[in-house]
Amino acid sequence: MPPNKSAYKKKKSERDRLFNRHLLKKRPDAGFISGNHRIPGEIHEISQSGMLFLTRKTLAVGSVGKVGVQMPNWFFRANAVVRCVVAGKAFGLEFLNMSSIDRQMLRNYCGRLGKDSQSSPKNSSIPPLS
C-alpha cells in the first residue's frame, strides 16, 4: 500500500524511505496520462512506491494520472500523482493504486533488482533522455 501524504512529507533522507529505489540500466519506455496531457518518457529509477519519469514535459506537482510502463515481462499500470518536478528533465511519481497482479509483479521485479545491484545512490543525477 502506498504511503499517505503525511508520510511522504516527513521523508527527509534516503534512509527514511519506505522502499529502496533501484536505478534501471535499461530504461523502459513509459507514458503518463493526466487530463488532456499524454506524456511519453522513460523510467530511470523505480521502487515499490514510485518512479522517476524522464521526460522533457513538465506537469504541476499534485497532478494525478495513469502511468503505463513496458516492463521486461509485463505491461505495468498504476494511478499515480506527481510529487516533484525537475523542469525539462523529469518528474517523480508516487503510486496511488494498482491491481493486485501489478503490485505483486512490481514487488518481485524490485526484489530481483535489489539482488542484482545496489539501490540508487542518494544524490544520483538525472541523465538526459536517450
CA angle 126/82/75 to nearest 5° reads 80
Helix %, strand %, coil % for the chain, to 5? 20, 40, 40
pLDDT at 23: 82
The 10s digit of each residue's pLDDT in 36-81 is 999 999 999 999 999 999 999 989 999 999 999 998 888 999 999 9
The predicted model scores a pTM of 0.76
Backbone angles phi, psi at 46, to 5 degrees: -145, 150
Mean pLDDT lowest for which of 80-84, 102-106, 119-123? 119-123
Cell 527527509 appears where?
Answer: 12
CATH topology (fold) of 23-115: Thrombin, subunit H (2.40.10)
Q: Is the pLDDT of residue 12 over 60?
A: no
Pick the residue with more confidence: 63 or 5?
63
The 10s digit of each residue's pLDDT in 86-111 is 988 999 999 999 999 999 999 998 88
Q: Which among 44, 42, 1, 41 is positioned nearest to 19, based on CA atoms? A: 1
